[in-house]
Amino acid sequence: MKKPLFILLFFILCTSSWAQSTQAPTTKRPNIVFIMSDDHAYQAISAYSNRLIETPNIDRIAKMGMRFTNATVTNSICAPSRATILTGKHSHLNGKIDNDFPFDTTNVTFPQLFQEAGYQTAMFGKLHFGNAPKGFDQYKILPGQGSYYNPDFITKNEGNIRVEGYVTDIITDMTLDWLKEERNPSDPFLLFYLHKAPHREWLPAERHLEEFTQRTFPEPATLFDDYSGRGRAAKEAEMNLLKHLHWSGDSKIYPSVMKELGIPGTSNWDTLAFSREVGRLTPQQRANWDKSYDLVNASFKSSFPSMDEKEKMQWRYQRYMQDYLGTIRAVDENVGRVLDYLEANNLMDNTLIVYTSDQGFYLGEHGWYDKRFVYDESFKTPLLVAWPGKIAPGSTSSTMVQNLDYAQTFLEAAGIPAPADMQGESLLPLLTGNSESWTRDAVYYHYYEYPAVHMVKRHYAVVTEQYKLVHYYYDVDEWELIDRIKDPQELRNVYEDPAYAPVVAELHRKLEELRKQYGDSAEISQGYLDTYLDRLEKNPAYGTNAEVTKKLLEERKKSRKEQ
């Protein structure tokens, strides 16, 4: 069909439907269901790899639509990622650079635009900002990190409530209740369905404890990484499974057993984290919980005294995976409940469904848990997008896309103009098979929270499908080049290798181009660092590593005197 004729036909169709009913164009706008979990590594979704766990329900979204294999974040940490998703802007512009900086509520977030355009908007689950979400007709959110067992919620209409049960089930119940009872079926909706799981401290539902606490999982190839091929940032990070996990809070070793075996807590936080979560269980729930963890503790008590360091690491990896993957089983079951509801109520055909996480996560790769680094397992995030009739079923894309792009994607899908200062790109051309118009071949990354928990140094990077050029710029001045194709495990910094000199030069050029394009600079970084260090002077505990924090604050004092 030739274009003018097509446009004419479209015009006739639109105007005739307007003539029949003024509601017709509105009802055609797609619903958006945005499903996001917290810290869900793509390694733990069977659409990506079934080495660790089967996730048949999450995989249904991949089967219906597109699976992205190079989806990434701009700043791999919880609240900043959420701020980027909502604003479509990099951290240095939306201001939410780390978990502690408050979110500036004068930012325009895309749900506000949906609400103004007549969409019904609702959010259930974990937002992880200090603020109530703007632009939502209805919300029930967890305060801060929230709790796994018998959680509290901040609600729009009922004040603060506590609900008995398991957090993943409850968030889903709230979501389904809204879909069934509160939603007006004649208008399109934007639904945020946000899981707390699988965030630390990884507490599975009672029904999954028995199975998961007894399972064994394959180890990653880099579990015993000694960081010899990289610089100080990797060596000095505090997220090693053996050295930095809490025995009690994370591995669920009872404080009494630790005492008996003479294991010191890694911090006061260690046993506190345990009692904070487990202390919420009712006596009946606690009895069920103990059935599984009594066995874990009994077996640990008998085997720990003879374990060498390697065996301790292996034990901690298994314990970590048992609980982490146990929480994912409940996420998968519950995603299935929502998909079943959409299917049974004819909502699939006009609904764009996304499954993602706020970032990736280390599942023992490099010996680590947690995120923050630009290395793949935390930089990349799962991204599955279904929209029946629009996106080819079972398709994949290896294009470099980012959480920065979601806002503009949803706005375009809904036919709502995006503000000119949003910095992403709509993914619709990729999703609908029109990728010729896509020109971006590199993405920008910037992580800030240091010195702080896990001690990952500040760094920014440019990443292409082939390479990563990284600059660790504070407390150190180190450049790193990773060859993503030849070194997929990211074990060797080849920045100084003469063979890569042309690549280094080209990537420096690209990095400067991106920093200019996105409006980031050394001055802006210094401004955020100064604000952070001012705060740290008042509260050095936030630096977590007392020795390093003291050293950095003294260096700052000295340089002030010299100026």
Nearer to Ca ion, 270 or 358 (CB): 358
Nearer to Ca ion, 379 or 467 (CB): 379
> Strand, coil or helix: what is 534?
helix
CB of 501 to Ca ion, least distance (A): 37
Q: Distance (Å, rounded) from C-alpha 378 to C-alpha 386?
A: 23
Establish if 78 lies at the interface with Ca ion (CB under 5 A): yes
CB of 197 to Ca ion, least distance (A): 11
Nearer to Ca ion, 137 or 323 (CB): 323
Nearer to Ca ion, 425 or 449 (CB): 449
Candidate residues 59, 225, 358, 480; the one interacting with Ca ion per rule CB under 5 A: 358
What percent helix, strand, coil does the chain show, rounded to 5?
A: 45, 15, 40
Which range touches Ca ion (CB under 5 A), out of 70-78, 380-388, 408-416, 507-515? Answer: 70-78
Within a 10 A sphere around the Cβ of 179, how many other Cβ atoms?
21
> Strand, coil or helix: what is 60?
helix
Which range touches Ca ion (CB under 5 A), out of 72-80, 167-175, 506-514, 547-555? Answer: 72-80
C-beta separation of 367 from 240 below 8 A: yes
CB of 131 to Ca ion, least distance (A): 17
Nearer to Ca ion, 39 or 483 (CB): 39
CB of 78 to Ca ion, least distance (A): 4
CB of 233 to Ca ion, least distance (A): 20
> Strand, coil or helix: what is 270?
helix
Residue 506 structure tokens: 């080209």
Candidate residues 29, 37, 38, 191; the one interacting with Ca ion per rule CB under 5 A: 38
Nearer to Ca ion, 103 or 114 (CB): 103
Q: Distance (Å, rounded) from C-alpha 456 to C-alpha 232?
A: 10
> Strand, coil or helix: what is 232?
helix
Which range touches Ca ion (CB under 5 A), out of 75-83, 314-322, 385-393, 447-455? Answer: 75-83
DSSP character at residue 383 = E
Burial of 44 (0-12, 13-18, 19+ CB in 10 A): buried
Establish if 39 lies at the interface with Ca ion (CB under 5 A): yes
The alpha carbon of residue 334 and the mean position of all alpha carbons in its chain are separated, in whole angstroms, by 18
Nearer to Ca ion, 195 or 244 (CB): 195
Q: Distance (Å, rounded) from C-alpha 87 to C-alpha 519?
A: 15
CB of 77 to Ca ion, least distance (A): 7
Nearer to Ca ion, 82 or 459 (CB): 82
Residue 208 structure tokens: 């999954």
Contacting Ca ion within 159-178 (CB under 5 A): none
CB of 445 to Ca ion, least distance (A): 16
In degrees and rounded to multiples of 5, residue 66 shows phi and psi of -115, 140
Count of chain residues binding Ca ion (CB under 5 A): 4
In angstroms and rounded to an integer, the radius of gyration of the C-alpha atoms of the chain is: 24
Q: Distance (Å, rounded) from C-alpha 119 to C-alpha 414?
A: 9
CB of 250 to Ca ion, least distance (A): 16
**Site of interaction with Ca ion (CB under 5 A):** 38-39, 78, 358
